[in-house]
């Protein structure tokens, strides 16, 4: 008897929220270092990195859960899937940080 592995929406959202929290904490460390922002950045310059990193962290966490919960047939594919999930997670966090800080820290 083979059991079916179904994705649970609450678990996907939980991983997404954890990913968003990780992304927000990383970007908060960068934003905390700014003492006097450049006047050309505008009054709400910090909103773009916060929104971008939070969103990319949520998506990264959701994708990580999907790749971790997928029922792989062999141990080798399971290891490859888990490593791919981790690489995807950190890559999406990095892309979110670069996209969020573009035009402020990185010109």
Given this model, what pLDDT does residue 34 score? 86
Given this model, what pLDDT does residue 107 score? 64
Q: Where are the domains of the chain?
A: 9-33+46-101
pTM comes to 0.85
Q: Which residues contact 25 (CB under 8 A, 6 or more apart)?
A: none
Q: Which residues contact 29 (CB under 8 A, 6 or more apart)?
A: none
pLDDT 10s digit of each residue in the chain, 107 long? 444 556 777 889 999 999 999 999 999 998 998 888 888 888 888 999 999 999 999 999 999 998 888 888 899 998 999 999 999 999 999 999 999 988 887 76
Given this model, what pLDDT does residue 40 score? 85
């Amino acid at each position: 008897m083979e059991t079916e592995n179904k994705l649970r929406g609450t678990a996907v959202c939980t991983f997404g929220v954890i990913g968003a929290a990780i992304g927000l904490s990383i970007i908060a460390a960068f934003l905390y270092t700014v003492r006097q922002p450049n006047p050309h950045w505008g009054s709400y310059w910090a909103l773009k990195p916060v929104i971008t990193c939070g969103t990319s962290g949520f998506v990264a966490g959701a994708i990580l859960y999907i790749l971790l919960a997928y029922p792989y047939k062999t141990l080798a594919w399971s290891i490859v899937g888990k490593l791919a999930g981790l690489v995807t997670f950190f890559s999406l966090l990095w892309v979110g940080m670069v996209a969020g800080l573009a035009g402020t820290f990185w010109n």
